[in-house]
Amino acid sequence: MLDLFSDSQDDVYKPTISEEELSDAEVLIELAQIKEELKDRVVVLGHHYQQDDVIAFADITGDSLQLAREAAKLSKEYIIFCGVHFMAETADMLTSSNQKVILPDLKAGCSMADMARKSEIDRAWSFILKSTQKKVIPVTYINCAATLKAFVGENGGSICTSSNAEKVISWALSQGEKLLFFPDQHLGRNTCFKMGIPLEDMVVYNPNMQNGGLTSEQVEKARVILWYGFCSVHQGFTKEQVKTIKANNPQMNVIVHPECPFEVVQASDDNGSTSYIIDKVDKAPSGSEFAIGTEINLVNRLAASYPDKKIVSLSPYQCLCTTMYRVRPRWLLASFRAIKDNKPINIISVPEDIARSSLKALDRMLAIK
Ligand code: 13P
Ligand code: SF4
């Protein structure tokens, strides 16, 4: 089993099915056969940002919350998670110890998750607790390493996703007087503002600065402390893009993911998780028009799935999540072949103590209706 908690990248297994061995078309043919052969032992989960050739082999697709809920219900021996590392870790913690979670490419990480490290959170936490006597509840976006979920679990907090952030934050503020939200400043700010918390009551803690760039007085005065992190894909959408689309096509509905910056969300008509966006498009009458601010694979799939509606990306640039894109059909096939040979590869296994603490935070989230 690989030690994903070691700093060394040398033990990162790279599955090798070369193009000389199999063409892309042959990979898809063998994938269909092997999936059928192993259907009683293997289930494939796919996040909405995966490419079409991967989504085609997913038994269950969803946003982060749906995939976490589904993972908790699974009974098959192997769960191949077509998504990014934190999602596979979460699935591992929510499944039983005799089930194995596999990530087809171990380098499929999330740049936002990497923006908060345990040592930085520890430092921030002690500065915040020194600065105020008030009770602070930590909430982490699910896009983070298991060690951070464990921190939250041990400090009375909860995890959230983009689809339940409002409920989780209002729970957190009923448990304490202040909120520390990490790693995504935008999801935190957008959600808190929607809940009626003014921007003046929020401060940003930047881990690259002494004491996060804050004074103790600022911490004491703030209701919400937002971590500096962001998603490099969603950070790229701009208010000007919304204005241009609206000026040229006033009938266009602009809908964005809440990982987008505050001014983009404010200028847009609507915002929500990937599943929320899909549902909005699905329920809209024929002829509706949408400019969507999220990852391009999802936008393109929606455009192809609803030819009776006009669906475009909000951005003229390719907003691709390059880490999600690392999961290729040939790596998925390599994962299946290894299971068939009874030598499974790329198993994601969270150490027991970290999983136990993280589960406190995950269970709190799953209990918040
Ligand atoms: P969703 O929970 O909306 O699927 O978002 C996950 C994500 O990583 C968005 O960038
Ligand atoms: Fe992470 Fe952004 Fe990719 Fe989502 S889109 S997985 S937040 S890098």
For the Cβ of 51 lying below 6 angstroms from any atom of ligand 2, the answer is no
Q: Please choose, from the candidates 267, 260, 286, the residue with its C-alpha nearest in 3D space to the C-alpha of residue 184.
A: 260
- Token pair belonging to 331: 């790596």
Tell me the ligand closest to 295's alpha carbon: 2
- Token pair belonging to 352: 């027991």
pTM: 0.95
Name residue, tokens 């009458």. Answer: 285
How far apart (Å, rounded) are the C-alpha atoms in residues 205 and 343?
Answer: 44
pLDDT of residue 14: 58
How far apart (Å, rounded) are the C-alpha atoms in residues 186 and 225?
Answer: 12
For the Cβ of 143 lying below 6 angstroms from any atom of ligand 1, the answer is yes
Contact between residue 246 and residue 283 where contact means Cβ atoms under 8 Å apart: no
Contact between residue 306 and residue 289 where contact means Cβ atoms under 8 Å apart: no
Beta bridge partners of 83: none
Q: Please choose, from the candidates 346, 363, 361, the residue with its C-alpha nearest in 3D space to the C-alpha of residue 79.
A: 346
Tell me the ligand closest to 142's alpha carbon: 1
Indicate the top mutation candidate among 64, 81, 159 to test ligand 1's pocket, ranked by most ligand atoms within 8 A of CB: 64
Contact between residue 269 and residue 305 where contact means Cβ atoms under 8 Å apart: no
Specify the residue with its C-alpha closest to ligand 2, atom 8.
110
Name residue, tokens 């911490």. Answer: 219
- Token pair belonging to 263: 């001014």
For the Cβ of 338 lying below 6 angstroms from any atom of ligand 2, the answer is no
Q: How do the pLDDT tens digits run along the chain, 369 residues long?
A: 343 433 334 445 556 799 999 999 999 999 999 999 999 999 999 999 999 999 999 999 999 999 999 999 999 999 999 999 999 999 999 999 999 999 999 999 999 999 999 999 999 999 999 999 999 999 999 999 999 999 999 999 999 999 999 999 999 999 999 999 999 999 999 999 999 999 999 999 999 999 999 999 999 999 999 999 999 999 999 999 999 999 999 999 999 999 999 999 999 999 999 999 999 999 999 999 999 999 999 999 999 999 999 999 999 998 999 999 999 999 999 999 999 999 999 999 999 999 999 999 999 999 998
For the Cβ of 155 lying below 6 angstroms from any atom of ligand 2, the answer is no
Specify the residue with its C-alpha closest to ligand 2, atom 3.
321
Which residues have CB under 8 Å from 338's CB, separation 6+?
Answer: 15, 344, 345
For residue 303, what is the DSSP state? H
For residue 285, what is the DSSP state? P
Domains observed in the chain: 9-109+323-351 (3.40.50.10800), 113-231 (3.40.50.10800), 234-313 (3.40.50.10800)
Q: Please choose, from the candidates 185, 310, 288, 299, the residue with its C-alpha nearest in 3D space to the C-alpha of residue 235.
A: 185
> Secondary structure of the chain: what % helix, strand, coil (to 5)?
45, 15, 40
Q: Which ligand 1 atom is at minimum distance from the Cα of 64?
A: 2
For the Cβ of 253 lying below 6 angstroms from any atom of ligand 1, the answer is no
pLDDT of residue 144: 98
CA 210 to chain centre: 28
How far apart (Å, rounded) are the C-alpha atoms in residues 69 and 32?
Answer: 26
DSSP of 249-305: -TTPEEEE-TTS-HHHHHHSSEE--HHHHHHHHHHSPTT-EEEEES-HHHHHHHHHH
Ramachandran angles phi, psi of 105, nearest 5°: -130, 115
For residue 144, what is the DSSP state? S
CA angle (163 as vertex; 162, 164 as ends), nearest 5: 100
Q: Please report, as a single letter, which amino acid is at residue 213.
A: G
Distance 144 CA to ligand 1 centre (A): 12
- Token pair belonging to 129: 């607790």
For the Cβ of 142 lying below 6 angstroms from any atom of ligand 2, the answer is no
How far apart (Å, rounded) are the C-alpha atoms in residues 319 and 297?
Answer: 9
How far apart (Å, rounded) are the C-alpha atoms in residues 15 and 35?
Answer: 17
Q: Which ligand 1 atom is at minimum distance from the Cα of 47?
A: 4
